[in-house]
Chain A
Amino acid sequence: MKDDELEGWRREWQAQPAVTMELIRRVERETVTMRWDRFLLLAPAAVALGTTVIAALNPRIDAIVFAAGMWIFMAASWRFLVQNRKGIWGPSSETTAAYLELSIERCRRKLKDFRFGRVLSPFITAFVLAGVWQGMASQGRLESAEGYWILGAASLFTIGVVAFAISAQNQKRKQTEAELEYLLDLQRQLKEGGR
């Protein structure tokens, strides 16, 4: 009776679907994330497009410079993103070593992403704040103390948001560094085992 019970459970338990090589699935998941990364640039592109529309409707030199600057930042980001994704869309062969190599390379590129973001974000922030300051000044909204208060508050808020984002990215960077270290160690072990 009891053995029948155990056998029944065993059949049910072993009937659960099996999962095959998860390293391959991980790489596949990362690939999907990388494809979505491209769409992340759509938001800044929308902002750049918005500044262009404003500049077209109100063709002042400061508006045109601001729109042009936004497009330059956009182009630089796109170029970096495309360059940084080269050669990491798939493994060079269907071997475990190739999949591991790909995961390592993706970690390295992710760290490059973080460095690029850290360098670019202060420039973009400064540029946007300068644009807002110039826009408010040209509209005569900085002639009163209230205007300066608004500009100061908006600047502090923006800087705070950017600082928070950089700090969050730092956390992710540390995780990626730890992951890279683990994968490299694994690769070393594999090479030593292969000797």
Chain B
Amino acid sequence: MALVDGFTKGLERMPGGSVILTSMDALADWARGQSLWAMPMGTACCAMELIACSFSRFDFDRLGTFPRPDPRHVDVMILAGTITKKMQPAVKRLYEQMPDPKYVVAMGNCTVSGGIFYYDSYSVVRGADTFLPVDVYIAGCPPRPEALQDGVLRLRELIHTRSLDEERSYERELTLPGPDTPRAGTTDACRGHLLSSPGPDGEDG
């Protein structure tokens, strides 16, 4: 890696070198977006819609997204389902095992903010972005498979449009949640596109 770094730094200093680097990077980003292998971190109900999304009716594979259960093979982790305090260290560890560059899609209300379990639950983590940097939020309880596919397409846009100077997901500093950790949806550390989805959120009868 030091050789590649040295090469790119040398290329930056050359006249016209930064243009080459930008376009190489853009090419790499374009290629990466076209083939996002996803880790289906499905804990609860949203996992059923994630599975339905991967199958013949909605077909994730035509977007290049392929479910791989191993974190070391994937680009994006799709968090589908409630994350509990018992499960949180396992999810964190799997995220850390993913190679860079990596992205996180928070699917479903429970990963966005705790969802229907926001109130009164003693064991639910209220939002995945309290401990992971989330790139795309998909609301819904559960979101429709089309909404999930839309989320992946938005992620693809995000990947394509990021420039060299912009902060990449793996360069963000991760802080452990503490008493001052901002609540879901208000944090600056995570840049994401909040998507609304036609999915019933049946919290009130």
Q: Do A and B bind each other?
A: no
Interface set of B (CB-CB < 8 Å, partner A): none
